[in-house]
Amino acid sequence: MLTSPKTRDRLRAKAYAPLSLAIHLVVACTAAMLVSTAAQAQSSASVQVYNIPAGPLGDALNRFAQQAGVAIAFQPRDVDGATTQGLQGSYSEMDGFDTLLRGSGFSVVKSQNGYLLQATPQAGGALELGATEVSANQLGTITEGTGSYTPGSIATATRMVLTPRQTPQSISVVTRQAMDDFGLNSIDDVMRHTPGITVATYDSDRTSYYSRGFAIKNFQYDGIPILQDPQYSAGHTLTDTAIYDRVEILKGATGLLTGAGGPGGTINMVRKKPTRDFKAHIDLGAGSWDNYRSEVDVSGPLSDSGHVRGRAVAAYQDKHSFMDHYKRDSEVYYGILEVDLTPDTLLTLGADYQDNHPTGSSWSGSASLFNSAGDRIDNPRSFNNGAKWSSWEQYTRTVFATLEHDFANGWVTKGQYNHQINGYDAPLGALLDPDVNTGKAKILARKYTGEYVSDSADLYATGPFNLLGREHQLVVGGSVSRSHWTGKDYTNALMVNNAYDYYHWDGDAPEPDWGNVTSKNDEITRQTGTYMTGRFSLTDDLTLMLGTRVANYSLTGTSQAKDTGKVLPYAGLIYDINDSVSAYASYTEIFLPQSYYRNRDNKMLEPDEGSNYEIGLKGEFFDGQLNSSLAYFEVHQDNRPEADTAYNAHPTNPDIDYAYKGIKATTKGYEAEISGEVMPGWQLQAGYTHKVSRDQSGKKVSTWEPEDQINLYTRYKLSGNLDKLTVGGGVRWQGTGWQVLTNYNKGGAQEKFSQDAYWLVDVMAKYQLTEHVSATVNLNNVFDKSYYTNIGFYNSSYYGDLRNVMVTTRWDF
Is 437 exposed, middle or buried, given 0-12, 13-18 or 19+ CB atoms closer than 10 A?
A: exposed
Which of helix, strand or coil describes residue 441? strand
Contacts for 662 with CB less than 8 Å, ≥ 6 apart: 597, 599, 605, 606, 608, 638, 639, 640, 641, 642
CB 650 within 8 A of CB 684: no
Closest CA to 353 of 324, 321, 316, 388: 316
Q: Which helix (H) or strand (E) holds 751?
A: strand 749-755
Is 585 exposed, middle or buried, given 0-12, 13-18 or 19+ CB atoms closer than 10 A?
A: middle
Rounded distance, CA 121 to CA 300, Å?
33
Question: Apex CA 345: angle with CA 342 and CA 346, to 5°?
Answer: 110
Report the DSSP pairing between strands 72-74 and 114-119: parallel
Mean pLDDT on 507-525: 94
DSSP 8-state class, residue 284? E
Residue 307 has pLDDT above 80, yes or no: yes
The tens digit of pLDDT for each residue in 739-769 reads: 988 888 888 888 999 999 999 999 999 999 9
Rounded distance, CA 600 to CA 581, Å?
52
CB 704 within 8 A of CB 737: yes
Rounded distance, CA 277 to CA 282, Å?
17
SS (H, E, C) 478-543: EEEEEEEEEEEEECCCECCCCCEEHHHCCCCCCCCECCCCCEEEEEEEEEEEEEEEEEEECCCCEE
Q: Tell me what the pLDDT averaged over the chain comes to.
A: 87
Rounded distance, CA 379 to CA 371, Å?
11
Rounded distance, CA 552 to CA 419, Å?
20
Least confident of 61-65, 304-308, 392-396, 566-570: 61-65
Closest CA to 780 of 730, 716, 710: 730
Closest CA to 140 of 104, 114, 103: 114
Which of helix, strand or coil describes residue 36? helix
Residue 484 has pLDDT above 90, yes or no: yes
Residue 26 has pLDDT above 50, yes or no: no
Global confidence as pTM: 0.83
* Residue 8 confidence (pLDDT): 36
The tens digit of pLDDT for each residue in 35-70 reads: 344 434 333 345 677 778 777 787 788 778 867 767
At how many degrees (to 10) do helices 93-101 and 57-68 cross?
Answer: 170
Least confident of 233-242, 255-264, 575-584, 599-608: 233-242
Residue 87 has pLDDT above 60, yes or no: yes
Residue 33 has pLDDT above 50, yes or no: no
pLDDT band at 791 (very low <50, low <70, confident <90, very high): confident
- Indicate the residue type of 634: E
Mean pLDDT on 61-86: 73
Q: Higher-confidence residue: 333 or 791?
A: 333
Q: Higher-confidence residue: 204 or 73?
A: 204
Which of helix, strand or coil describes residue 785? coil
Residue 116 has pLDDT above 80, yes or no: no
Rounded distance, CA 273 to CA 192, Å?
25
Mean pLDDT on 671-698: 95
Question: From its phi and psi, is residue 577 left (phi > 0), alpha (psi between -120 and 50) or beta?
Answer: alpha
**Whats the size of the chain, residue-wise?**
813
Which residue(s) pair with 171 in the sheet?
250
CA of residue 29 relative to chain centroid, distance: 22
Closest CA to 72 of 138, 117, 106: 117
pLDDT band at 31 (very low <50, low <70, confident <90, very high): very low
Backbone φ, ψ for residue 243 (5° rounding): -100, 5
How many other C-beta atoms lie within 10 A of the C-beta of residue 577? Answer: 14
Which of helix, strand or coil describes residue 684? strand
The tens digit of pLDDT for each residue in 176-197 reads: 999 999 999 999 999 999 999 9
Widest distance between CA atoms in the chain: 99
Q: Which helix (H) or strand (E) holds 31?
A: helix 19-41
Residue 199 has pLDDT above 70, yes or no: yes
DSSP codes joined into one string, 616-641: EEEEEETTTTEEEEEEEEEEEEEEEE
Report the DSSP pairing between strands 758-768 and 206-211: unpaired
Mean pLDDT on 684-697: 95
The tens digit of pLDDT for each residue in 415-467 reads: 999 999 999 999 999 999 999 999 999 999 999 999 999 999 999 999 999 99
